[in-house]
Every structure is written in structure tokens, then in C-alpha cells.
Structure 1
Amino acid sequence: MDNPSKIIEGGVEYSLGEFDGKQVNYDFSKILIYLDAKGKLLFGKDFKIYKKDKALLLKLCSYFIRDKRSCEKHAIDLSKGILLSGPIGCGKTSIMKLLRHLVPRQRPYEMIPCRNVTFSFNHLGFKTIEDYGDSRFYCFDDLGVEPAGRFYGKDLNVMGEVLLSRYELYLDTRHKLKTHATTNLNAEELENRYGSRVRSRMRELFNLIAFEEHSQDKRR
């Protein structure tokens, strides 16, 4: 019988908890062992789980394994996506790339750098907005620091338009659509970048989960 509490990586079997035949009772300490091993496979032997990040990881893991009790405790809405914020180099992108592998049976999301979305708009125009306003699941990486969009002399806040499209689709699919993002900006900076209307929609699209303001730059 297929056991969803086990994942095999590099020929090694990792247990994430106990499977009772109906559901997995996850064990966070076992999840951390798996994430550390998978992180080393994805990003190299220097990858590690930092002790000071464990509280944040607990929230994120609770969301991805759909632990309703833990999510309620941390005021996380399972119908929304994740907006992971924190200073440059704290590991936001790596963590979102890594957590896709924790629940292989769930529908995966694509990691898309926001600058690539803008470059696509500059080349293809409004087709880009349509392309990302579809039913696929995305994590838009580095939201808020992408360049301005321009197509045939018309300037556009491209990611703002994409988020508005995603929000409309989120409503149309009765909150089944998932949009995630990472950002270095705080709430005030995001509002300055995208305006109050987009910021309001972002509150409805995302659970905000944030690294500590003074998290170390792990790339140094």
C-alpha cells in the first residue's frame, strides 16, 4: 500500500510521521530532517536549517501539510496563498522551492521570478497578463523589485495587473486557486509600489508570513 508519510530521496527513505490508513500524523522534527536532506540535494552541501527559522518553518509546514489546528493557532487561512517576506538573503526563495517537495501529492506551483514576468510583457505585451491569469499555481519570486513594464510606449505596473487577474480568478474558482509570492518589501513599501487597490487584494490573496527583520544574510 502506498504510504504518503514516506518520501524517498537519493535512495534514502524519510519518514514524515505516521500513516494510519486514512491520514498522516506528521512529526515536525522528522519533517525538518527531511527538509535538511532535500535542501542539501537541491542547493548543495552548505544548505542547512537554521534554529532561529524553525518557528517560521513550523507555520509554513503547517500550511503545506494542511494542519488545520496549527493553522488556526497561527491565524493562517488554508484557502489563501503564502506571501513570504524578509530581508535579502534570508532564504525565502530556497524555502519556497524546497516546500514544494514536502507534499508531492498536492498540486505543485511554479517558481516565477517577477522580473521575468515584466520582461515577457515588454516583449509580448498584454498576452503576458493573460498567460499568468490562468488556473496554474505560481509562486512569484522577488515581488516589488522588478523593473517597470513598457510595451509600445505604454507603461504598466505588470505584477500589479497580474495580481489583480489572479485575484479575480481566485474568486471565480471559489478560492481554490493558489498564488504565492516572496518579497523583500514590507506592507507600506508594497502599497507604495502597487497602490492601495492591489494591496487590498493582496490581503485577500495571501497569508503574510515574515522572517525577522534582522535575519542574517545566509548567502555570505
Structure 2
Amino acid sequence: MDNPSKIIEGGVEFSLGNFDGKNVLYDFPKILIYLDVKGKLLFGKNFRIHDEDKDILLKLCSYFIKDRENCSSYGIDIDKGILLSGPVGCGKTSLMRLLRYVVPLQRPYELIPCRNITFGFNHLGYKTIEEFGNTKFYCFDDLGIEPIGRHYGKDCNVMGEVLLSRYELYLKTKQKVKTHATTNLNAEELEERYGNRVRSRMRELFNLVAFDKEAGDKRK
């Protein structure tokens, strides 16, 4: 039987904790070592785990490894998705791309820029929205800064419609379908962008995990 506490990267075995045959007792410092190595493989040698991000990483890792006790102390519901918010360049997208690898046996989510979904709508119309109302797991990247969709002269707030579809699906599947997102916007800006109805559905779809407003731009 596979040992889910061990991951092999480039011929090197990394341990994320101890496996007792049923459960993994994860070790956060070991997870950080693995994430640093995997991050360099994915994003280049300049990638590193920043000390100031360790608190947010602990929250996100607790969620992905389904550590109910830790999640409960953070007010995180493991049945909901993650809405990761923070300033431009703080590393939201990289973390959401990276954290999938900590739990290789869990169902992965596909990371898709919101603007690509809007462009898809402009070409294909409402079929695009229907496509995302399916049981796949997604992380919608850069929510809130995508353009308004337009198909045959009709405007549509595409991501607002997609989120409503994902919410309906979430209810129907008894919280089995995961939707994640990253955003640079705060709650008021999201409400302005999508309206009160979508905003209230987002509260039920997502756990909000936020970087500090002062988090620096790591791309500089």
C-alpha cells in the first residue's frame, strides 16, 4: 500500500510526517521543506518560502491535509473551498498551484484564470458557464479583475454566473464539489463587482484566507 506521508521528487524521497497505516500525522516543518523544493522545481530557483507567509501556509496546509482540529481553531470549514485574497504579487497563485502537491491522493483542482473564462464566454456564450457548472474541482485565479463578458452584443458578468452555478452544485452534491479562488479584491470590492446575491453565496462557498494588506510584491 502507498504511504501518503512520503513523496518522491527528482529521485529524492520527502517525508511529510508519519503514517500509522490509516492516518498521516503531518509535520508542518517537513511540509515546508517539501514545498520549498517543489516550488523551486515549478517556479525556478528563486522561489522560496517567506517567513512572513508561514502563518498563512499553516492555515492552508491544515485545510488541505484536513486537520480538523487546527481548521476549527482557525474558523475554517473543510467542506468549503478556499478564497485566498491579498495584494498583487504576494504569491497567491503560486501557493494555490503548489499546495495541490502536498496531498497527491486527493482529487486535484484545475487552476484557471478568470479572464480566460470570460474570453471563452465571448466566443461560445452561455455554454462556457454551463461547462464550469460541472463536478470538476476548480481554482479560479484573479477573481474580480476579469473584463465583463459580451456575446452577440449582450453583456454578462460571467464569473458571477459561474459562481452561482458552482453554489447550486455545492448544495446539490452535499458539499462534495470544491471551488477555490484567488483575488486581489476585498469583500466590499467583490460585492461591488458581483452584487449582494453572489457575495452572500460566496460566503457559503468559501473560507476566506487573507494575506496581510501590507504583504510585499514578491515578483520585484
- The separation in 1 between residues aligned to 2:76 and 2:37, in whole angstroms, is 27
After TM superposition, the structure 1 = structure 2 runs for residues 4-15 of structure 1, keeping only pairs within 5 Å, are: 4-15=4-15
Counterpart position of 1:17: 17
After TM superposition, the structure 1 = structure 2 runs for residues 66-85 of structure 1, keeping only pairs within 5 Å, are: 66-85=66-85
Give the C-alpha shift of residue 2 in structure 1: 1.8
After TM superposition, the structure 1 = structure 2 runs for residues 1-220 of structure 1, keeping only pairs within 5 Å, are: 1-220=1-220
- One-letter amino acid matched to 1:212: D
- One-letter amino acid matched to 2:205: L
- One-letter amino acid matched to 2:86: G
- State TM-score, norm by structure 2: 0.99
- The separation in 2 between residues aligned to 1:71 and 1:96, in whole angstroms, is 17
Length, aligned pairs only: 220
Q: CA RMSD in A?
A: 0.4
- One-letter amino acid matched to 1:66: K
Which deviations, in whole Å up to 9, do the C-alpha atoms of 1:42-74 show, x marking residues without a partner? 000000000000000000000000000000000
- One-letter amino acid matched to 1:152: Y
Sequence identity of aligned pairs in percent? 75
Which deviations, in whole Å up to 9, do the C-alpha atoms of 1:9-33 show, x marking residues without a partner? 0111000000111110000000000
The unaligned stretches of length 5 or more in structure 1 are: none
Which deviations, in whole Å up to 9, do the C-alpha atoms of 1:68-123 show, x marking residues without a partner? 00000000000000000000000000000000101000000000000000000000
- The separation in 2 between residues aligned to 1:89 and 1:54, in whole angstroms, is 16
Structure 2 counterpart SS, 1:101: helix
Runs (4+) of structure 1 moved beyond 3 Å? none
Structure 1 counterpart SS, 2:111: strand
- One-letter amino acid matched to 2:66: R
